[in-house]
Chain A
Amino acid sequence: MVFGYVTLMVSLGIYLVPLLGQTLNEYFFSDRLGLIFYLVLILVSLFSAIHYVKFVNDRKVKEADVALHNAGTIFFTGAIVGVLFTSHFGILWAFMEATTLGASILIYHNRNQDALEATWKYLYVCSIGIAIAFAGILFLGFAAQQTGHIDFTFSAIKTEAANLNTIWLKACFLLVITGFSVKMGLVPLFNVDIDAKDASPSQVGASLSSVLMNAGFVAIYRFYEAFSATSILPWMNKLLMLTGLLSLFFAAVYVLRVKNVKRMFAYSSMEHASLVIIAFSCGGLGYFAAILHLVMHSLVKSSLFFQVSQMHRIFSSKLDENIGSYLRVNPLGGLVMLLGFLSIIAMPPSGMLISELYMFQALIAKDYWWVALIVLMLVLIIIYGLAVKMLGIIFLKKNSANINLDGATPYESALQLALIVIVFYIGLFRPPIIVESIQLAIQSLPI
């Protein structure tokens, strides 16, 4: 059923490509940025569906739970498609709320105490976050009211933005960032996101770390783009930079102390979300770096989360102290872990090195030397924290009991490797189609 759904999504993509830049109706449009992340969504959903088949067989998941998971997946991805292609702030908010409900069904998949705790926290904090974001949209309504009538479409707000009261616009942007921070995994509402990625099946963790993070970014991007022609642009950039720096700081602190591999990758996602927001706040080349980084991070982090599922089957543990010599125990899986690790710490030939270099270039171009230094220092701390644990998992011999090699399936690892190879390919060759697509997607933003 999910495979059928993915086919449907591909068909929708094919339908949307020739309509790029056009409005589909009053509330939806075919947008280049949406399409870039839509392609990522299709790829991750497809790989997620393949991995879920193995997960179901291994865990002997009940048919009713599989059915609920499939329904949840369709609801969740459908809501994300809505976020990517809507041209209306009200509808954008409604779809973001829908992602919370869909994600809750997916997070509760394992039906145990951890899953219940994570689902409750996620549902509760997301609902409050989304309510805060809605208050932001209402503030936008107060601002728009002064022009005579309220039209929440992106184009109408962008046209009128220069005439709107800046206090309302600032309040709106502040509340929207606060509310949607839970989706992107940023300060202040990041905790529940980490718990959700830990307690849910790895395929779900992959989706939360990739497609949901992208949806959160797109939501923030839409507001930023609409207000970018106003005098609050420097203020928005400062707010984004502050959010990014605080998130990066918390990611660095937690990565050093975390012992659970899934939580470690969740904090790594938080680190990359922070880098994306910092890059974006610089403008110019930073916009390009942010989107490129998000695309590549989605592929690598999904691959790592899928591999964690396999590792968990082999070692029956998520704790790094119980997992060792992974390259020897499961060579192909170990290779995925090693290359994935090199990718997330932006080592060559990973494409993420390129986007991070662009980010530093953008920071220096804006004379943010001190920010660049802080970011560099925090990133180095995170690399150290990740390296200590990951190299131990991959190479060190540990007292790992209950190793079950039945869980090592080469085809799964081969698929994960394919995702990482794509990121290496982007890093080495920078395909013009990707570069041009991103450049065209951000052309409406100020330089």
Chain B
Amino acid sequence: MINFLIIIFIISLIYLAKVEMVKSYFTLMAIQGLILFGLAYFELQEIDLVHLLLILLETLVFKAIFVPIFLQRITKNQIHRHHNGPIKGYYSVLTAVVIIIGCFMISYVLHDQLKSDADQQVKYFTAATSSLLVGLFIAINNRDLVTHLIGYLVIENGIFLLSLALGSEMPMFVNSAILLDIFTSVLIMGIFFNKMKDYFQNANAGQLSQLKD
């Protein structure tokens, strides 16, 4: 089951690189939230109940439900199609695939450096580092502020996967801190996003060039 969920997660990364309709981003973020919920449930069954419930809450309520709905609300369904960056269409799919293959190869090389249950960690490591780099790619390759937010959330999902690879050994309070930080970051970014729309005609990062030397 864990293998299946990780493969679905990686496929969602490839699809994220190709998406042009902003609404699809929100759906994909909800799907990724659900995948992370499933992974956390299967991976962390040995940890104490409170810790497990907190992590399940983080993934299901926050990542799969709150964030997609919140993003949909702040864009008020007004932004339908985002502005593509320099790498367009199927070339972005190709870039995402290259990133994932590269991450798999690096993870495989690092295989010996990992602990005894290395096979499991290689999978997580591949998915996590791919998510980090694809998130960065999405943020760099697009000009819309909402797509930048999506890029940030994909990076955070990668970080979450990386912490899952550490399994039950990750202290609970650090997880709580991550939850709090992502929550406040997204909330504050959402508030500022609304203000940006008041000042600038559309949510295009190309307009953010007032401050320069």
Contacts and interface: CB of A to CB of B under 8 A. Distances in A.
B159 interface: yes
B115 A146 contact: yes
Given A127-B152, A131-B156, A90 B192 contact: no
Contacts of B188: 101, 104, 123
Interface string B99-142: 00000000000100111000000000000000010001001000
Interface stretch (B17-25, B52-60, B166-174): B166-174
- The size class of the interface chain A forms with chain B is 35 or more
Given A116-B192, A116-B199, A258-B213, A138 B166 contact: yes
Given A124-B152, A258-B213, A167 B169 contact: no
List the 4 closest pairs (A to B, CB-CB), nearest first.
A94-B177, A90-B174, A195-B211, A97-B181
A168 B113 contact: yes
A117 interface: yes
Given A93-B177, A138-B166, A142-B115, 6 more contacts: A100-B185, A131-B159, A141-B169, A142-B165, A198-B211, A263-B213
B115 A145 contact: yes
Contact of A116 (B132, B166, B171, B196): B196
A182 to B, nearest CB: 14
A98 B184 CA distance: 10
Interface in B176-213: 177-178, 180-181, 184-185, 188-189, 192-193, 195-196, 199, 208, 210-211, 213
B102 to A, nearest CB: 15
Contacts of A198: 211
B170 A150 contact: yes
A254 B212 CA distance: 11
Given A94-B174, A124-B148, A141-B166, A113 B181 contact: no
A412 B5 CA distance: 62
A131 B131 CA distance: 12
Given A101-B188, A123-B188, A142-B166, A167 B110 contact: yes
B152 A138 contact: no
A188 B164 CA distance: 28
Contacts of B174: 90, 93-94, 152
A225 B139 CA distance: 34
B185 A127 contact: yes
B10 interface: no
Interface in A123-150: 123-124, 127-128, 130-131, 134-135, 138, 141-142, 145-146, 149-150
Given A168-B113, A263-B213, A117 B159 contact: no
Contact of A128 (B155, B193, B210): B155
